[in-house]
Amino acid sequence: MADSSFDIVSKVDKMEADNALHQAQKEVEQRYDFKNVGASIDYSGEKVLIKANSEERAKAILEVFEAKLIKRSISLRSLDAGEPFASGKEYRIEASFKNGIEQDAAKKISKIIRDEAPKTVKSQIQGDELRVSSKSRDDLQATMALLKSTDLDVAVQFVNFR
């Protein structure tokens, strides 16, 4: 019998992120505390750019965006937001989405699988994702449950379960 397997990836659904951004834009436009302060949130290339006239307002817009991401079931671990910085008369925050599992995080996940998962489970790093395989589907599901309960540095999804 052939091995069963699944892939561990870290990807952000672009459509869901786009919807969260549009919802945050609408809320920023409609909220009274953001009126006439130059508050905005927009895409600039691959980055999300947040602008406001004070550092506190910029952080508040970031919180609104994070709340919209959570509602759309996008993990905040995949959002890489910088600190507010002054740019002329306004404060800006640049944020971007992390896609792919970095080498260090992949090695850490692989070590967790080696140490704590059932012994029949094997993992191998393939670029920015991990392939986990075993003869037993039950062992693979136990490995998924183990990784979900472990506090990892990256947001992970499980795809291609065969």
Residue 1, pLDDT score: 52
> Could you give the 3-state DSSP secondary structure of residue 110?
helix
Task: Identify the domain boundary among 44, 78, 97.
Answer: 97
Each residue of 119-140: pLDDT tens digit? Answer: 888 888 888 888 889 888 888 8
Q: What percent of the chain has pLDDT over 90?
A: 22
Confidence band of 2 (pLDDT split at 50, 70, 90): low
Whether residue 92 is found in the same domain as residue 37: yes
- Distance (Å, rounded) from C-alpha 9 to C-alpha 74? 14
Whether residue 128 is found in the same domain as residue 144: yes
- Distance (Å, rounded) from C-alpha 66 to C-alpha 20? 9
Whether residue 116 is found in the same domain as residue 91: no
Show the beta-strand stretches assigned E in the chain.
Answer: 4-9, 40-44, 47-52, 79-81, 85-87, 90-97, 122-126, 129-134, 157-159
- Domains identified in the chain, total number: 2
Confidence band of 27 (pLDDT split at 50, 70, 90): very high
Confidence band of 70 (pLDDT split at 50, 70, 90): very high
pLDDT over threshold 80, residue 45: no
Whether residue 87 is found in the same domain as residue 107: no
Whether residue 31 is found in the same domain as residue 77: yes
What six digits make up the tokens of 113? 């699988």
Whether residue 86 is found in the same domain as residue 110: no
**Residue 43 belongs to domain spanning:** 14-97
Residue 63, pLDDT score: 93
Whether residue 36 is found in the same domain as residue 78: yes
Whether residue 111 is found in the same domain as residue 93: no
Looking at every residue in the chain, the average pLDDT score rounds to: 88
- Distance (Å, rounded) from C-alpha 148 to C-alpha 155? 10
Whether residue 18 is found in the same domain as residue 80: yes
